[in-house]
Structure 1
Amino acid sequence: MSRYRNLGLFLALAAIWGSAFVAISAGLDHFPPVLFAALRYDIAGVLMLAYAAFAVDDWYPRCRSEWLLVAAGAVLLIAAYHAFLFVGQQHTTAAAAAIVVSLSPVLTTGFARAFAPSDALSAVGVVGLLVGLVGVAIIARPDPSNLLSADVVATLLVFCAAAAFALGSVLTRAIEADLPIETMEAWSMIGGALLMHLVSLGLGEPIEPAAWTHPEALGALGYLAVVASAIGFLLYFDLLERLGAVEINMVSYVAPIFAAVVGWAYLGEVIDVTTVVGFGLIAVGFVLVKRQALREEFGHVMRWHSSE
Structure 2
Amino acid sequence: MNTLLFLITCIIWSTTWAMIKIGVEETPIMLGLGLRFVIAGLFLYVIIKIKNRKIPFDSQLIKLYLVSGLITMAFSYYCTYYGTKFIPSGLSSILWTTLPLFVGIFSHFILPGGKLSFWKFISIIIAIGGTSIILSDQSLIFSKDLLVGSLIILIGVVASAWPNVYLKIHNDYDSLVLTCMAMLIAGFIHLMGATISNQWDKMVWDFKNLGAIIYLGILGSAIAFYIYYTLLQRINVVKVTFITLIVPIFATMVGWAFLKERVTVKEILGGIIILLGVFLYDWDKYKLILIQNKK
Same fold (TM over 0.5): yes
Name the TM-score, length of structure 2 as normaliser: 0.75
Q: Kindly provide the CA deviation profile for residues 253-305 of structure 1, in whole angstroms up to 9, marking residues without a partner as x.
A: 221234457689999x99999999999988877666xx24x6537988xxxxx
* Contact 1:100/1:136, CA 8 A, preserved across alignment: no
Task: Find the counterpart in structure 2 of residue 193 from structure 1.
Answer: 187
Matches within 5 A, 1:250-289: 250-259=242-251
Task: Find the counterpart in structure 2 of residue 167 from structure 1.
Answer: 162
Counterpart among 97, 102, 108 of residue 102 in structure 1: 97
Secondary structure at the aligned position of 1:80 is classed as helix
Name the TM-score, length of structure 1 as normaliser: 0.72
Counterpart among 201, 207, 216 of residue 224 in structure 1: 216
Task: Find the counterpart in structure 1 of residue 30 from structure 2.
Answer: 34
Deviation at 1:80, TM superposition (A): 1.4
Task: Find the counterpart in structure 2 of residue 233 from structure 1.
Answer: 225
What runs of 5+ residues in structure 2 fail to find an aligned partner? 290-295
Mapped partners of 1:133, 1:159: distance in 2: 14
Secondary structure at the aligned position of 1:108 is classed as helix
The one-letter amino acid of 2:204's match is A
Residue 58 (structure 1) aligned with residue 54 (structure 2): yes
* Contact 2:97/2:128, CA 8 A, preserved across alignment: no
Mapped partners of 2:201, 2:251: distance in 1: 27
Secondary structure at the aligned position of 2:15 is classed as helix
Mapped partners of 1:74, 1:161: distance in 2: 14
Q: Kindly provide the CA deviation profile for residues 128-172 of structure 1, in whole angstroms up to 9, marking residues without a partner as x.
A: 6777888999989795xx6xx111211222222221111111123
Identity %: 22
* Contact 1:95/1:259, CA 8 A, preserved across alignment: no
Q: Kindly provide the CA deviation profile for residues 212-243 of structure 1, in whole angstroms up to 9, marking residues without a partner as x.
A: 2x111111011101121223234446666787
Deviation at 1:93, TM superposition (A): 2.3
TM-aligned CA distance change 1:287 to 1:258, over 3 Å: closer
Taking only aligned residues, the RMSD between alpha carbons, in angstroms, comes to 4.3
TM-aligned CA distance change 1:121 to 1:56, over 3 Å: farther
* Contact 2:249/2:271, CA 8 A, preserved across alignment: no
The one-letter amino acid of 2:66's match is A
What runs of 5+ residues in structure 1 fail to find an aligned partner? 301-308
Residue 180 (structure 1) aligned with residue 137 (structure 2): no
TM-aligned CA distance change 1:22 to 1:137, over 3 Å: closer
Mapped partners of 1:205, 1:275: distance in 2: 43
Counterpart among 190, 206, 213 of residue 199 in structure 2: 206
Task: Find the counterpart in structure 2 of residue 69 from structure 1.
Answer: 64
TM-aligned CA distance change 1:120 to 1:173, over 3 Å: closer
Secondary structure at the aligned position of 1:211 is classed as coil
* Contact 1:111/1:170, CA 8 A, preserved across alignment: yes
Number of aligned residue pairs: 286
TM-aligned CA distance change 1:227 to 1:116, over 3 Å: closer
Task: Find the counterpart in structure 1 of residue 293 from structure 2.
Answer: none
The one-letter amino acid of 1:59's match is I
TM-aligned CA distance change 1:34 to 1:276, over 3 Å: farther
